[in-house]
Amino acid sequence: MSINWTEEVEKRKQSFLEHTKKLLHIRSVLDEENGTKEAPFGEGVRAALDFMLELGEKDSFTTKNVENVAGHIEFGEGEDLLGILCHVDVVPEGDGWSVDPYAGEIRDGKLIARGVLDDKGPTMAAYYAMKIVKESGLPLSKRVRMIIGTDEESEWRCVDTYFKHEEMPTLGFAPDADFPIIYAEKGLTDFDIRFKEGSVQGGQAELKLVTFQSGLRYNMVPDAAEATIDLDSDPTYLCQSFDEFLKENELEGSYLMDSGRLVFRLKGISSHGMEPRNGRNAGLYLAQFLTTLPLDAEGNDLFHSFQSIFT
Ligand SMILES: [Zn+2]
C-alpha cells in the first residue's frame, strides 16, 4: 500500500485551517474563579475540550471526557497504547497585540493567534494525522490515543486527574510548539516565597508599601507592574526619581496620587517564561526602583531579597 502523504494533507488543508481557527476562537484561559462542576477550569477551557471531543466523535473515533478536565480521542487496535499528549488551554493574551489574538488572522502565510503554536495548532495537526491514517484504512498494531489536557499552562491538574482514571500509554510523544522536534528543555522551577511573621527587619518606616502586583501566570514574563505606597508627605521627589529611573532604563511608566496613596505603574514586555531574554520583566524593574526608596521593614526586605536577580 502506497500513500502520498503530502497529497492527503493538501486535500484536507482547508478543513484543517477552518478547524484550527475555530479552536483558536475559543478563549480557553484558566478561569477557576468562575469554575463549576461541569467546567472546573472555566467555560472557555471546557468549550475547547468539547470542541476537540465533538470533532473526534463526528469522525467516528472513540472519545471520552474525563471529569471535565481532560479527555481522549482514540482509534486502532492492539494491546499497546500510543499516547499523543496535547493541551487546549492557553495563557492569557496580555497586551500589545497588533491583531485580535483570537481571530486567527493569516498574515504573510502565517496564522497568528494566542496558542496557535502552543498548543492548538500542533493539537489539530496531530488530530489530522490520526484522521488521515484512519481514513486511509491502514492496519494498526497499536491503539492510538490523543490525550487532551486543559491545565497544562498552570498546574497540570488535567493529567493528574486523567491518569487517576485512565491507563498510562506504553509509549508516547507530545506535539507542542516547534516542529519537528524539541528534544530537551531547560529546568523549570515555580516557587512561592513566604516571609515568616517577625522575620523582617531593617528599613526606615518612612513610606509604607501597601500593594505590589505583577504578572498573571508563573510561566510568563510580566508586562505590567503596579505598586501602591502610603505617604503623607509631598510626593514630588519620588515621582522625579521614578521618571529618572524610567529614562535610564528606557522604560514606560506612570504615577498618580489617589487619596493619600501614590501608585506607580511600569510597563514591560511580555514573553513566554522559557525565553525571558525576549521580554522585559516589569515586576523586577519596579522592584528594583522600589529598593531605592526608604520603605517600611516588610517592603524593604521584600525588594532587597530580589537584589541578587537584578545584578
Ligand atoms: Zn504547551
The one catalytic residue in 74, 89, 119, 153 is: 89
Contact status, residue 13 vs residue 102, Cβ threshold 8 Å: no
Ligand 1 centroid vs 176 CA: distance in angstroms? 5
Strand order in the sheet with 62-66: 62-66, 70-76, 143-149, 81-87, 171-173
Looking up cell 487532551 gives 148
- What does the H/E/C string look like for 207-249? EEEEEEEECCCCCEECCEEEEEEECCCCCHHHHHHHHHHHHHC
pLDDT of residue 50: 98
Ligand 1 centroid vs 159 CA: distance in angstroms? 13
Ligand 1 centroid vs 46 CA: distance in angstroms? 17
Is residue 252 part of the annotated active site? The answer reads: no
The rounded distance, in Å, linking the Cα atoms of 66 and 159 is 10
The one catalytic residue in 74, 118, 152, 296 is: 152
Of residues 136 and 310, which shows the higher confidence score?
A: 136
- Give residue 91's region: left, alpha or beta (phi > 0; psi -120 to 50): beta
Is residue 152 part of the annotated active site? The answer reads: yes
pLDDT, average across residues 191-218: 76
Ligand 1 centroid vs 79 CA: distance in angstroms? 28
Residue 274 is given by DSSP the state T
pLDDT, average across residues 273-297: 90
SS3 percent helix, strand, coil of the chain, rounded to 5, is: 35, 25, 40
pLDDT of residue 199: 59
Contact status, residue 219 vs residue 230, Cβ threshold 8 Å: no
* Residues contacting 94, CB < 8 A, separation 6+: 216, 220, 223, 270
Average model confidence (pLDDT) for the chain? 91
pLDDT of residue 200: 58
Mean pLDDT is lowest, of 57-66, 112-121, 165-174, 187-196, for 187-196
The rounded distance, in Å, linking the Cα atoms of 265 and 250 is 14
Looking up cell 521584600 gives 302
Query: How does residue 104 score in pLDDT terms, banded at 50, 70 and 90?
Result: very high
pLDDT, average across residues 77-88: 97
Segments in the chain forming alpha helices (H)? 5-11, 13-25, 43-58, 121-136, 157-165, 236-248, 282-290, 297-305, 307-310
Residue 34 is given by DSSP the state G
Looking up cell 496557535 gives 116
